[in-house]
Amino acid sequence: MSKESDAILAQDGACNPVALANSFLRHAKPIFHETGTEAICNDPALRLIVHQLAFLMHLGEFDLDLTKYGEAMDYCRQQLDQEITSPNCPVESRSIHDPI
């Protein structure tokens, strides 16, 4: 499927966040390798896919209530602290900042 057809299906009420994330990644990777991040962020079809994903994940509440954002960040920091202090913590060679 084209990214445009995926975008239309997303906006028509897609309800599977994993499928939306996979669709975004499938269509964003080639754009990233050809033209970079800015092109991904400005692509209308990709923005529609992300819009539906954000809707499903209730991200709008982060903008309306910063305590929800803070709670999510606190939770993730606590989980990360537990990972780092665990004796079984694997050493990761990649980070979120590494290119795709």
Across 52-63, average pLDDT: 96
| Residue ranges of domains in the chain | 1-57, 60-94
Q: Which of 46-55, 70-79, 80-89 has the lowest mean pLDDT?
A: 80-89
Computed from CA positions of residues 40, 26, 5, 2, in that sequence, does the dihedral angle turn out positive or negative?
Answer: positive
Across 68-75, average pLDDT: 96
Assigned token pair, 3: 């990214």
pLDDT for res 88: 73
Q: What are phi and psi of 23, to 5 degrees?
A: -60, -45
Across 1-9, average pLDDT: 97
Question: What pLDDT digit, counting tens, does each position of 16-39 carry?
Answer: 999 999 999 999 999 999 999 999
pLDDT for res 1: 92
